Chains A and B, each alone.
With several copies, the nearest count.
Chain A
Amino acid sequence: MTSGISKADFARMIAGAAATIRSQHAVLSELDCAAGDGDHGATMLRTVDRLEKAFAPGGPEDLKTCLKDAGWSVLGVDGGASSSLLGVFFGGMADAAANDMTGMFEAGLAALRKQTKAQPGDKTMMDALVPAIQALRAAADSGKSVHEALFDAAAAARAGAEATRSLTARYGRAKFLGEKTLGHADPGAVSISLLFEGFYKGFSNLKGESGNA
């Protein structure tokens, strides 16, 4: 079954993502101190604030419109590389049909790829994002529920982020630190895994409450 989601579903996912980021932002900044300029946690806090606002009640009813607005708003975080990339990602999600969550995430990734040549293995957010979205596709193709799909995606993102420890950075500010980045996970990749963990929790909690998976 292809899994459509509503604005309400996505709003819950965003709320979940905001919660995980807020609980972990200090870790993100520490990682960025080791391999960048130390501001990634602060940037992600401003990013999730804006994502939440874009999905706040009273906003447009249409999910695509909300995503476009969210993307634009995140671009405006002025937080360097990651906020530009995440803005492109969320904005790009609006390019696909709203009744296909997997397609939307794929559309976001496609938009992102227009802005960066980074591939998994280059120690960037791509190391978490690409496997996460591949997991969504696999789940959808094998007819899993959104709940299950998001669970698989979060697991894949975490694994991808973990794996960046053993990589040396080839993109972004960290590129210039080369070998020195070995042993530290990439902050952007960890952010992606936190976002997907939040998507899963946010989506499922309430489904859980409403009793069915």
Chain B
Amino acid sequence: MKMKKFINKPENIVAELLAGFALSHPGQIRLVGSNLVARAVPKAKGKVGVVTLGGSGHEPGLSGFVGEGMLDISVAGEIFAAPGAPRCLEAIRLANNGAGVLFIVLNHAGDVLSANLTMEMAKREGLNVKMTLTHEDISGGTDPEDRRGLVGFLPVYKVAGAAAEEGQPLDACCEIAERMGRNMRTLAVAVATATHPSTGQPIFELGDDEMEIGMGQHGEAGTGRMKLKTADETAEIMLDMLLKDLDVKAREELLVIVNGAGATTLMELFILFRHVDQVLKAKGIKLARAKVGEFITTQEQAGFQLMIARLDNELIRLWDAPSNAPYFVVR
């Protein structure tokens, strides 16, 4: 299939998309320094700054979640590629309001390399920064190092961002982010590939009647290639794996996120969510909160990510706190 995307020169994609994003949300975000996505109105002095980094091509992730109540600055790299340490360091300097900075990193090889370098440089400058890694993709195996960071970044941004907004100190914000991270699990499934917007090439191959459970954010292979299943069968297979891995007990309270990969419709996500809810009810597990939509995409890939997270009262309060991020407004 020939790629059909509305772009101009491939090498300008990221600069142009960031410009358009900023122009379409003047009240909420703006570009500062070296194309860093920052809040239109910087956070009050004395509050912890929250910074993240990640490749582009996953819109609205990650920069769509910069805003009051969530991130202070997002450092966007090239398509599917982590930004380098220099711009991350610049972001951390800018986000520091005197209370230190929480640096939230999704576990992907390139991002972690940049983040580690950034941390070394920041420490050398005497900046007060703490880094927290999200790795909740259970398809990677049991070693946390092998678990990628998928849509779980969203609750981590949300609760850590809300804690920072409340004025909680860096240690507390970091503890909250890590607690959220420890208590969440994600599994992705793909049924159709995306094309890489710069190269025009499909990023993976799948048979006409196949789906793959465990597919990563950039088409990195998963473990479970199988025949296409119905919505209910798919939801059930994935939910069971997630509940088992997180060891969820009856009466515990869960946040559930169903994240569309790009071409999979909200119609399908609702149908899937409906069955997730049925299965949880059957097991006596409480659905405390839910979110269904596109939070991190992989171009026009078809598939979705299912995330579950165990919530305690503080995490629920922080999840419910107001937010003014362009793609995550909470009143």
Contacts and interface: CB of A to CB of B under 8 A. Distances in A.
Interface in A47-74: 72, 74
A83 interface: yes
Interface in B82-98: 82-87
A83 B117 CA distance: 12
17 contacts: A33-B196, A33-B199, A37-B81, A37-B218, A39-B81, A75-B84, A75-B117, A76-B86, A78-B77, A79-B77, A81-B110, A84-B84, A87-B84, A115-B113, A175-B109, A176-B140, A176-B220
Contacts of B146: 175
Contacts of A42: 11, 78, 198-199
A171 interface: yes
B85 A75 contact: yes
Interface of A: 29, 33, 36-39, 42-43, 72, 74-81, 83-85, 87-88, 115-116, 171-178, 180
B39 interface: no
B31 interface: no
Of the candidates B84, B85, B221, the one having the most CB atoms from chain A within 10 angstroms of its own CB is: B84
B83 A78 contact: yes
A171 B87 CA distance: 24
Given A33-B201, A37-B196, A79 B220 contact: no
Contacts of B219: 37
A43 B81 CA distance: 9
Interface string B205-226: 0000000000010111110000
Of the candidates A76, A78, A88, the one having the most CB atoms from chain B within 10 angstroms of its own CB is: A78
Contacts of A84: 82, 84-85, 110, 113-114, 117
Given A39-B79, A83-B84, A172 B199 contact: no
Interface string B298-325: 0000000000000000000000000000
Of the candidates A77, A79, A176, the one having the most CB atoms from chain B within 10 angstroms of its own CB is: A176
B280 to A, nearest CB: 29
A80 B116 contact: no
Interface string B254-292: 000000000000000000000000000000000000000
A178 B221 contact: yes
B231 interface: no
Contacts of B84: 74-79, 83-84, 87
Interface string B5-18: 00000010000000
B127 interface: no
Contacts of A29: 199
A37 B109 contact: no
A115 B117 contact: yes
Nearest to B112: A81
B108 interface: yes
Given A39-B198, A115-B117, A173-B220, 15 more contacts: A33-B201, A37-B219, A39-B199, A42-B11, A75-B84, A77-B84, A78-B83, A80-B55, A83-B81, A171-B109, A173-B108, A173-B109, A175-B220, A176-B221, A177-B220
Contacts of B83: 78
B78 A81 contact: no
B86 A75 contact: yes
B80 interface: yes
A180 B109 contact: no
Given A38-B203, A88-B117, A171-B109, A78 B82 contact: yes
